[in-house]
Structures are given as C-alpha cells and as structure tokens.
C-alpha cells in the first residue's frame, strides 16, 4: 500500500468541519470546474483530489462542471479527455456532468435582472478605451459615457447583442459597481460579450457569452455548491463573486475559498504554454510522457494511486510553493517498488557466449517480486548466447566495481555464476563478444567450494529475447522555472527524450500498456499505450530506481 491511510487535514477541511459543527451546512457539496480548453495537468489533479476527496470523506457530493464560456478555445476533445482523466484518477462525479452552458438561459435572465435593477449597462467603449478608463492600481477609473443609459435603452441594446445585430467588440454588458474600487475586478467588470462562435454544447444558439466571473458564482449557486474552492489568483474575484450573488434573486449562497496552486520545477503548467508545445509539435501531443498532463504521466507509467498520494503529500495551503520533481518521482517509485513485477531488459546490449553451455535453451523460474511471493513467478529462458548491459563489463575492475570483469565471476540474476574468459573486439576497439564459462552447479546456490561471488547483473537470452524500443525521458526543461524565461521554448531540454534499442525477456511481449515493471537494476518501465505492439515493443521509462540523476547499479 503506497497511499497513506490517514485523512488529510488542511485549512479548507477545518472550515468545513466548523461549518458542519455550527449547523451552517448539513452536508458538503463541492465541484471541480475545468475549462475544456486543454488537457488536465498535475495541478488540476491537486484540485481534483481536494474537491472529490472532500466529497468522499464527508459523504458529500462533488460535481464535474465544464466551465465552458469561451467557445473559440474549447473543444469536445478536451471535454472527453477531462472526463477520462477524472475517472482514471479514481473519482466519480455526482449525478450528470454539468456544463456552465446549460445555464446560459438562466444567466441571461440574471443579466436582465441586473439591468432592470440599474446594476448593469451596455457599454460601447472600444477595448482600448475600456482599458484606459479602467485606471490603475494607484489611480481610480473613469466612468464610461454610456454608464448612465436608461434601463429601457440597456434592455434594447442587450437584446440586439443577443440577436446578432451587434459586431464583436462593439458592445458589451458591464456590471455597474465602482470605478474607484481598490479591487480592479470591481471596476464595472464586463459580464457579457459578443462572440460569433459555434459552441461545442450549444451550437449557434448564442452569440453572446457570459464572462467567467458572472458565470461561475451563479453556476455554483444553481448547483447548490457549499464550498467553492479555487486557486489564489481568484482571491480578488471573490468580491465580485459575492456581489453578483447578493444582487440577483437566488437562494443559495456558496462561499469561495482559495488555496495556492501547484507549481512543479522543470515544467510549465499553463495550458496556453502546454498548448503551444503541442501545436508547435515540440512534444508528441498532450499525452507525451514528458508532459505534466495526467494523460502524459499515465502514459509514462504513473499510477492513479501515486498521483493521489502526491497530492496528499504536498498538502493544501495558501502559501505559494514550487515542488521539486523528485517529490513526484518518489511517490511513483514508492508505489512501483512495492507493486511492480520485476523483469529483465538490456538497454545497451553486448553479447555474451557461454562456451561450455551446449544444451537447449533452459527455462528458469524467476520470482516476480523479491519480497512478495504472492506475485508469483515466471519462466525466463537461459541460453548459450545472452545479452548483458555494456556497462556491466570491464576488462579491468576495481574493488568498487561488482560486475563482470575479465577473468572474474559474476552472478546472472536468477541464473548461474559465469566467468569472463576472453573478449572479441571490432576494428574500432569496441567489444563485440564476451566469451564466458558458467558453473552449472550454481543455480540458486553459491559455488560449492566456497568461492565468493558478489556481483549480480541482469541479462536477456539473445535467442529468445525480443527487440524493444526503449524511450528514456528526462526533464522537459533545462531550468527549474521555465515559465519565468523570456521564451520558455528556448529552455526546452534537447535531451529530454533518448531512444535506445534493447532487448527484453520474452514474457514482456504480453506486457499490458501503462502497467509498469521494474526492469531489474534499470528502473521502472511500461509499454507505451499508443506505439507499442507485440510486433514492435516500445517501453517508456517511468522513473529511475533511485534518483533521476543517480547512477544506476552502483
């Protein structure tokens, strides 16, 4: 079990505990509200674990709501991927999936209500003028000349906007709040704009679309959300959230709470930047195993449990923070060390010929996990010709080097002790073959005469082993905070993907995609969920055995 059992505690859960204790709420209803304009990333996983986790632990409910008010940037592909990712992480939303666009009729009605109350007006300032009129943090804004239109005029113009009689950018509906507010979001925010765009849910029914701040609070209220949890950049928007709900006729008043977003070193989390990586083909799609997306991490071999555990370990606070990649990696390593079956693969092969072995290929029974007999065993073919890792042989060794050395012995994992007798090299001096002998009395036992053989190396039968493409991943960026670079594309790590051609034991032909194995001494690997087939095996390295930068096998 890699997931810690204890329930997390954090300031939001404390607020919920207090609300339940005081009777302010009798049950908890949260929501996860992604905008379907990209694939979900590990930051979203934090929000998912928080919102769905609360619903689970408090026997409450959590909605999945698509915050879909930007038709130009959104797509049904994203809707589908998001549903998939939430389920894959191990969560179920309550009831039907919600869409903000389901509420477009109601939202329109609330906009009319605000106009009727003299609390919204149709503005005709150009976007540039509007920016100029807004003022700055140190200077108050100015009133738009259109601010004091009559209710009738506003109703008529809003109707025109709705009917497609107004060009994009020519008019918008603004809430009439306070152009001198110290909170910029309260300076008459735009609540509706014209967009002649086909919407993935509502088609061409609408050509005016409500803005996030107007939509979000109303959607929360319509769904009976009790605790509306979002990231800190929406802190100021809480004023507007509350203002809208106070000024319309609606009987539910959810409360917004903010926590700090997850930042992870050596990666970017902004969907705009992730999108750019995909569209400029700097990575192989949203689910490229180097991406911080849920689908990328999944393809890389991360498990849902390891991602939930990661979210638990990082906790929920209001402090800005950047998490080291090694914390994410240690979660998956802890999980796979316990749960991944072992197998053997040679990534940089050099041939071994066992000259005193003339029999047929011999099937050896090897345990799938050193400490878990319940995980069973498998048959691994041992033959006269094998591959071992090139770095596991040296002509001359030293005390620290506990692998195969010319004239010395080493144990082959799950098999016999072999001794390197002589080598053959090509014209460039590269070793092509290591000729060995084996001691056939050493299967599962030490040499009878008390010879000490310390090292153990992995191997694959050259006759029965299967060729495999193996993809080794490194950090996608060369700097810890690529988002801060002038051009984040310029700090992409050119060596973030290395492809090698190796050999794997034949049992791996049946490896299920995404299901990680520990390749003995080499790390954790899983079959690629897109490109691997029994005819052409492709394995992704999920994570190394110790630390990404640590040398393997020392």
- Partner in contact with 94, chosen from ligand ATP, Mg ion, none, beta carbon below 5 to 8 Å by kind: none
CB closer to ligand ATP out of 289 and 292: 292
The answer to whether the annotation marks 262 as part of a ligand binding site is yes
Least CB distance to Mg ion at residue 269 (A): 12
231 is in an annotated binding site: yes
- Whichever of 35 and 391 has its CB closer to Mg ion, that residue is 35
Name the H helices within 209-324.
212-222, 237-247, 271-279, 294-300, 304-314
Query: Contact between 296 and ligand ATP (CB under 6 A)?
Result: no
Nearer to ligand ATP, 66 or 158 (CB): 66
Provide the 8-state DSSP code for 261.
P
DSSP string, 70-95: -GGG--HHHHHHHHHHHHHTT---SS
- Among 115, 262, 404, 522, indicate the residue that binds ligand ATP (CB under 6 A): 262
User: Which partner, ligand ATP, Mg ion, none, binds residue 82 by CB below 5 to 8 Å per kind?
Assistant: none
Residue 45 CB, nearest approach to ligand ATP (Å): 8
The alpha carbons of the chain give a radius of gyration, in whole angstroms, of 30
Structural contact between residues 75 and 34, judged by C-beta atoms closer than 8 angstroms: no
301 binds ligand ATP (CB under 6 A): no
Does position 150 interact with ligand ATP (CB under 6 A)? The reply is no
Out of Mg ion, ligand ATP, none, what residue 44 binds, judged by CB under 5 to 8 A for its kind, is ligand ATP
Our CB check for Mg ion shows the closer of 260 and 383 to be 260
Among 231, 377, 383, 478, binds ligand ATP (CB under 6 A): 231
Residues constituting the chain: 554
CB neighbours of 291 closer than 8 A, spacing ≥ 6? 39, 41, 274, 277, 283, 297, 476
Contact criterion met (CB below 8 Å) for 178 and 125: no
| 47 appears as a binding residue in the annotation | yes
Q: Angle of helix 304-314 relative to helix 325-339, nearest 10 degrees?
A: 140
- To Mg ion, the closest distance from the beta carbon of 100 in angstroms equals 12
Count Cα atoms within 13 angstroms, Cβ side, for 290: 26
Span from 29-37, 51-59, 288-296, 508-516 in contact with Mg ion (CB under 5 A):
29-37
Q: Which secondary-structure segment (H or E) carries 257?
A: strand 255-259
Whichever of 47 and 330 has its CB closer to ligand ATP, that residue is: 47
How many other CB atoms sit within 10 Å of the CB of residue 239? 18
HSE-CB of 359 using CA atoms within 13 angstroms:
7
If one asks whether residue 312 binds ligand ATP (CB under 6 A), the answer comes out as no
For residue 199 the two structure tokens come to 């919407």
Choose one: 30-38, 124-132, 249-257, 396-404; the region binding Mg ion (CB under 5 A).
30-38
Q: Which is nearer to ligand ATP, 33 or 341 (CB)?
A: 33
How many other C-beta atoms can be found within 10 angstroms of the C-beta atom of residue 37? Answer: 17
Instruction: Check: CB of residue 503 under 8 Å from CB of residue 460.
Output: yes
Q: How far is CA 527 from CA 39, 311, 436, 465, 495, in A?
A: 22, 25, 32, 16, 21
Q: How far apart are the first and last CA of the chain?
A: 28
Per the annotation, does 272 bind a ligand? no
Q: Which is nearer to Mg ion, 35 or 242 (CB)?
A: 35
The answer to whether residue 271 forms part of the interface with ligand ATP (CB under 6 A) is: yes
Q: How far apart are CA 527 and CA 28, in angstroms?
A: 40
270 interacts with ligand ATP by CB under 6 A: yes
Active site residue 35: yes
Options 120-128, 168-176, 261-269, 492-500: segment touching ligand ATP (CB under 6 A): 261-269
510 marked as part of a ligand binding site: no
Q: Which residues contact 339 (CB under 8 A, 6 or more apart)?
A: 2, 303
Could you tell me the CA-to-CA distances from 118 to 110, 112, 149 in Å, in that order? 12, 10, 9
Q: Quick check: 276 binds ligand ATP (CB under 6 A)?
A: no
Smallest distance, Mg ion to C-beta of residue 35, A:
5
Nearer to Mg ion, 35 or 362 (CB): 35
CB of 245: closest distance to ligand ATP in angstroms? 18
Compute the distance between CA of residue 109 and CA of residue 115 in angstroms, rounded to an integer. Answer: 10
Residue 33 near ligand ATP by CB under 6 A: yes
Give the count of residues interacting with ligand ATP (CB under 6 A): 14
Catalytic annotation on 271? Answer: yes
Asked if 53 is part of the footprint of ligand ATP (rule: CB under 6 A), the reply reads: no
Among 25, 160, 195, 261, binds ligand ATP (CB under 6 A): 261
Q: Which of 3, 19, 35, 362 binds ligand ATP (CB under 6 A)?
A: 35
- Active-site pick, 106, 142, 147, 261: 261
Phi-psi domain of 90 (left: phi exceeds 0; alpha: psi -120 through 50; beta: other)? left
Q: What are phi and psi of 292, to 5 degrees?
A: -85, 15
Going by C-alpha positions, the residue among 293, 235, 294, 226 that lies closest to residue 259 is 235
Contact 97, 67 (CB under 8 A): no
Smallest distance from Mg ion to CB 99, Å? 15
71 binds ligand ATP (CB under 6 A): no
Interface of this chain with Mg ion, residues 35 to 94, rule: CB under 5 A? 35
Q: What string of DSSP letters covers 125-163?
A: --HHHHHHHH--SSS-----TTTT--HHHHHHHHHHHHT
The residue (of 63 and 144) whose beta carbon lies closer to Mg ion is: 63
Question: Is 421 a known active-site residue?
Answer: no
Report how far residue 522's alpha carbon sits from residue 525's, in angstroms, rounded to the nearest whole number: 9
Q: Single out the segment in contact with ligand ATP by CB under 6 A; choices: 264-272, 435-443, 476-484, 492-500.
A: 264-272
Contacts (Cβ under 8 Å, ≥6 apart) of 549: none
Q: Per the annotation, does 29 bind a ligand?
A: no
Binding footprint of Mg ion on the chain (CB under 5 A): 35
Catalytic residues: 35, 261, 271
Binding footprint of ligand ATP on the chain (CB under 6 A): 33-35, 43-44, 46-47, 230-231, 261-262, 269-271
Q: Which residues are annotated as a binding site?
A: 35-37, 41-47, 67, 212, 231, 261-262, 269-271
Q: Which residues are annotated as a binding site for ATP?
A: 35-37, 41-47, 231, 261-262, 269-271
Q: Which residues are annotated as a binding site for L-glutamine?
A: 67, 212
């Amino acid at each position: 079990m890699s997931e810690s059992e204890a329930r997390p505690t954090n300031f939001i859960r404390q607020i919920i505990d207090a609300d339940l204790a005081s009777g302010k709420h009798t049950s908890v209803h949260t929501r996860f509200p992604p905008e379907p304009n990209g694939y979900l990333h590990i930051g979203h996983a934090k929000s998912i674990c928080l919102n769905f986790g609360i619903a689970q632990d408090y026997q409450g409910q959590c909605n999945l709501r698509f915050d879909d008010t930007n038709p130009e940037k959104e797509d049904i592909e994203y809707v589908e991927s998001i549903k998939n990712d939430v389920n894959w992480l191990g969560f179920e939303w309550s009831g039907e999936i919600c869409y903000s666009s389901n509420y477009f009729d109601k939202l329109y009605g609330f906009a009319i209500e605000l106009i009727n109350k003299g609390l919204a007006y149709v503005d005709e300032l150009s976007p540039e003028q509007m920016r100029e009129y807004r003022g700055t943090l140190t200077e108050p804004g100015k009133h738009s000349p259109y601010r004091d239109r009559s209710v009738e005029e506003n109703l008529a113009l809003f109707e025109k906007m709705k009917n497609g009689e107004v060009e994009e950018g020519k008019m918008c509906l603004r809430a009439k709040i306070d152009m001198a507010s110290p909170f910029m979001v309260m300076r008459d925010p735009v609540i509706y704009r014209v967009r002649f765009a086909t919407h993935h849910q509502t088609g061409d029914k609408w050509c005016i679309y409500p803005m996030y701040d107007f939509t979000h609070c109303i959607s929360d209220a319509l769904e009976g959300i009790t605790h509306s949890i979002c990231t800190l950049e929406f802190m100021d928007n809480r004023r507007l959230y509350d203002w809208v709900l106070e000024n319309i006729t609606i009987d539910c008043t959810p409360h917004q709470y903010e926590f700090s977003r997850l930042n992870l070193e050596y990666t970017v989390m902004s969907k705009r930047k992730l999108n750019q990586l995909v569209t400029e083909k700097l990575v192989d799609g949203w689910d490229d195993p180097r991406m911080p997306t849920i689908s990328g991490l999944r393809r890389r071999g991360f498990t849902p449990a390891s991602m939930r555990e990661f979210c638990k370990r990082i906790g929920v606070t209001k402090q800005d923070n950047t998490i080291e990649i090694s914390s994410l990696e240690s979660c998956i390593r802890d999980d796979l060390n316990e749960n991944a079956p072992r197998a053997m693969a040679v990534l940089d092969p050099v041939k071994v010929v066992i000259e005193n072995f003339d029999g047929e290929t011999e099937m050896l029974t090897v345990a799938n996990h050193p400490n878990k007999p319940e995980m069973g065993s498998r048959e691994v073919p041992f033959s006269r010709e094998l591959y071992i890792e090139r770095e596991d042989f040296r002509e001359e060794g030293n005390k620290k080097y506990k692998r195969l050395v010319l004239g010395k012995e080493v144990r082959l994992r799950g098999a016999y002790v072999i001794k390197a007798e002589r080598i053959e090299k090509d014209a460039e001096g590269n070793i092509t073959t290591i000729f060995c002998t084996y001691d056939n009395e050493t299967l599962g036992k030490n040499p009878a005469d008390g010879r000490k053989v310390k090292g153990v190396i992995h191997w694959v039968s050259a006759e029965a082993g299967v060729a495999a493409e193996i993809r080794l991943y490194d950090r996608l960026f060369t700097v810890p905070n690529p988002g801060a670079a002038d051009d984040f594309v310029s700090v992409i790590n050119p060596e973030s993907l290395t492809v090698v051609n190796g050999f794997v034991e034949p049992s791996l032909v049946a490896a299920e995609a995404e299901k990680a194995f520990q390749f003995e001494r080499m790390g954790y690997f899983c079959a690629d969920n897109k490109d691997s087939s029994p005819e052409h095996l492709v394995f992704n390295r999920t994570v190394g055995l110790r630390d990404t930068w640590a040398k393997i096998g020392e």
